[in-house]
Amino acid sequence: MPMTTLTLPVLFTDTDGRARFRDEPLALGEGTPVTRLSALQASGGCQFRQSAVGFASGFHCTTTPQWLVVLQGRMEIGLQDGSTRVFGPGECFYSNDTLPAGATFNPALHGHRSQLLGDEPLVTLFVRA
């Protein structure tokens, strides 16, 4: 039986200002029984990025909501609560942990950190929402 939904991770800013992950279903209501499709999603352009071995960021917020797709390598996203999620080739998540309106960025409260895992460069695709 073909899948009728995909479950995709969403990184978002919760009501307390902290970044969190939640999994959201995406309906696959178009296409054929063999190749199920979602509805067309809006986008505002895309960028490719290559990060060198050893890459790690400090805590930061997403400036523009976007899909992040890992093409090569593995990356870890860490949250303020100490939890992490790892994404490898072919995996994606929706990054929308923007700074709350009127807030001043506080690296002890807001955002997420990211780092490359392993010994090969990280290649990612960012698709603006």
Other Cβ atoms less than 10 A from the Cβ of 105: the count is 12
Residue pair 123/48 in contact by the 8 Å Cβ criterion: yes
Region 77-87: what's the mean pLDDT?
Answer: 97
107: phi > 0 → left, psi -120 to 50 → alpha, else beta; which? alpha
Quickly state the pLDDT bin for 51 (edges 50, 70, 90). Answer: very high
The pTM (predicted TM-score) of the whole model is 0.92
Quickly state the pLDDT bin for 3 (edges 50, 70, 90). Answer: confident
Q: What share of the chain is helix, strand, coil (3-state, %, to 5)?
A: 0, 50, 50
5-128 has which CATH code?
2.60.120.10
